[in-house]
Structure 1
């Protein structure tokens, strides 16, 4: 028998304010057509004034717990992926722990930008396999609207706010790829590529800063690295693109999503796409897409999924799991 980290519940939360592309025509030189053509984005959600990343994360976590039929104190660990924590410290995860009324266990943040949820999922899986936790709440939550330079039309139109969450639970499997749960993961980073996607501020610089991106370079690296990491994770368990029921990618840009699917030889009919409605929500995008895909009736129990993402660092990776 083999221990697996199995998905028991999923949920998400989006702020009430919906921002259509047309709204950006009032602040920068752009158009709805320009944004749709280059990114596939039609609208996104922005957090309200005073609404924090942990606020969004708590709502998504509550939805995932309800879906799993569990209470906060049934959870052993919270792993929260975010680049936009409420405070420098303590971690946003501990704020979620308090907000849920969870009085036991431990909580911490993971920071790998848009790849954050893949890193958090892999980390939670390792905690479960090592026996340090039986149940984990894995969250991706962001308020990226707080990092935008509203004079930079190449970036400010791309990002949105939101949160998604999964409940993972230890379960026994047979050690085959038919098992439900996380089957493999592949994580990577290359700090030499820092300057193509970063925020030009931070605590030690004394400023919050704004997001800066070299779009063409990010696109080139994304198309190359996302397919490669997905294949690497599948290879670890003797699977291929033909075995995949759904790709659930980081929702950054429809052209990246399409190019990655082609390289994996998976038709777009087997790709969960939410970028048109949410924009790029960084670490929140994969759990958001998982929750929406399940709600749509796309993702069903027993389906084989590949999630993959790339973000600043550069950091990128993938997880293969059976729902």
Structure 2
């Protein structure tokens, strides 16, 4: 028997099959969810990943014991996340749990233990939970790249381009390296609004520029270093707000931007220590796809507790 985990983000998606008999695991990649006038394409991405999984692993997907899905934008951009769980259940004939991507990030990073996690990917969201047998989930941020997602890839990319344009405007010279990187990626600044404002995958495009910011930071560019440090501190503020005073005092940073390391992760650890020296900063045990597989196992066991805005079964 096997379980299936699906992780859908703004820049890409993945599906993993884990076999219970020998613990082996296989993965496939897919596109990210796009946001347009009709909301998010999460459901379409999930259906495509299920088709790909069935084609690649026909025997195992026919006898699944559970499916766990973590996806971005479920609470704000998908009209009825519960219907997605029902639709997938009909396709796979197995118990299904669908969760906000922050929930699967938490499950992956802390292995199901209590505490708080901030996930910095294309977007950013922090969640806290007391662990098995305790109360519900709580959320901080996750408002999307236009209103929040502080410290995320899209946030870093946008801030980096803003700094570049200040230099292009002659306001200051701090963003010179960022301006050069922006020109390499997007061309002349006058074309940037037209390239960004009209795109349904704008958040992912902004997050792609965050990789340029991270490279400049690693090379010692002061503006990029400061930007990543600010992102890490924003993540610390969010994760502590999600932790509150009543959850086990442990936190973790996860998501694609956590891989930037350096100034961002150092600022995160320093920001937590400065505000809550009693809180342990843990290295993430796994990523959101690991969390989706953990959720799939809980679904197979029948121990998933549904909670509006966080988990649907």
Could you say whether these structures have the same fold, taking a TM-score greater than 0.5 normalized by the shorter chain as the test? Answer: no
Which structure has the greater CA radius of gyration?
2
Higher strand share: 1
Instruction: Bin the TM-score by the shorter chain.
Output: 0.3 to 0.5
**Structure number having the greater helix percentage:** 2
